[in-house]
Amino acid sequence: MKIGRIALTASILFLFLVSLELITTASKHLGSEYSNGIIQLIGNPLVSLFIGMLATAIIQSSSTLTASLVVMVGANVISLEAAVPMVLGSNIGTSVTSVMVSLGHLGTPKAFRRGFMTASSHVVFNILCVIIFYPLERQWKILSRSSQYLAKNLSDWGSIGEGWFAFYEFMVSPVANLLNSVVATQPLIILGFSLVLLFMCIYTLASVFKYLVLDGTSKKWFSSAFDNSLLSLFSGMGLSAAIHSSSVITSLSVLLAATKRISPKKLFPFIIGANVGTTVTALMAAIGRSEAALAIALCHMMFNVLGVLIFYPFEWMRNIPLIISKWMANLCYRNLAWAFGFLIFLFFALPFLVIFIFEKY
């Protein structure tokens, strides 16, 4: 069974790499006209922010979006500066899953209130981080310039890199080229297929690792991890990195809060740790690609790490998202229409409205 799981995981990771290579090939075949259309659409950073938010809310996976952005930046389809707001927006959009999970407890109002508080603490944290870093990025490019500097110094992978490139050249590229030759005249088909394959790989990895991590004796360690906030933070990072999905971790947190096993306050460090852990997917996608591709992956990681460094160390800062989320949970507890209104307006109606207004005017 263990050998079978290892083989399955290796196969999924291989298909993950193939899907990324196919996205690169499709982007290059689509040509400058397609590239110019994308650049024009995301030319406004605010629109780019809400596109990232809406796209992630629809596919419910920030890992899929950021991995795709890594490839598109590496293929020079979009610039690093244009991709950064989309990364910020994807962090808000990915929290839609936990909000939807919390609505599954509407039949038991008290459980719903605890679950919704946990889910909304993730939403509020991500929104506050965007409020802090979006103006700083617009004015001084602190995320893009810092990530470019790091990428420049980390782009030399040494002997490890040489081994990786050899594996990529002899194992991944031939498979991608074979698939590409079948539908070389239809780059949109390649792109659509590769995005579906990428999403399926991430979803399957999440399922496999969730079973491995949360099965058997690890459950006891998992429950005790929340007694220490720092351990809870790093547990969130580690599990999210292994599972390749912060959505799974935050949804699990909602279920734990709703069943009274762990309080929303103890779960908060675990959730923000998951935000950092999920950046591993984009970093994996960036290995073997251009400096710009590595820079956008590092930008995703820096944004989440800096958010943790701002809110985690001091308890009074940690309490700000919790106070806001508790107020929201009490409001929705008294009138469930607020919960549905919050979900539909924030994640779907508002992004559509902003994109429509800027596209028209």
Cα–Cα distance measured from residue 115 to residue 251, given in angstroms and rounded to the nearest whole number: 9
Quickly count: other Cβ atoms within 10 Å of residue 211's Cβ. 12
Residue span of the structural domain in which 185 resides: 2-211+226-360
Any domain includes 16: yes
pLDDT at residue 20 above 70?
no
* HEC sequence for 20-51: HHHHHHHHHHHHHHHHHHHHHHCCCHHHHHHH
Q: What is the pLDDT of residues 62-77, one digit of tens each?
A: 877 888 888 888 878 7
Q: Decide: 322 and 171 in contact? Cβ < 8 Å.
A: no
Any domain includes 9: yes
| Least confident window among 32-36, 130-134, 311-315 | 32-36
Mean per-residue pLDDT, 300-319: 95
- Whole-model pTM above 0.85? no
pLDDT at residue 346 above 60?
yes
| Overall number of domains in the chain | 1
Any domain includes 141: yes
Any domain includes 220: no
Any domain includes 250: yes
Any domain includes 152: yes
Give the residue from 35, 349, 298 showing the smallest Cα distance to 152: 298
Mean per-residue pLDDT over the chain, rounded: 81
pLDDT at residue 169 above 70?
no
Any domain includes 147: yes
Any domain includes 219: no
DSSP H helices, the chain, are 2-41, 45-59, 62-74, 80-93, 96-102, 109-140, 142-154, 158-167, 173-182, 187-213, 218-224, 229-243, 246-258, 264-277, 280-286, 291-311, 315-334, 336-344, 350-360
Give 160's pLDDT tier (boundaries 50, 70, 90).
Answer: very low
User: Which pLDDT belongs to residue 163?
Assistant: 46
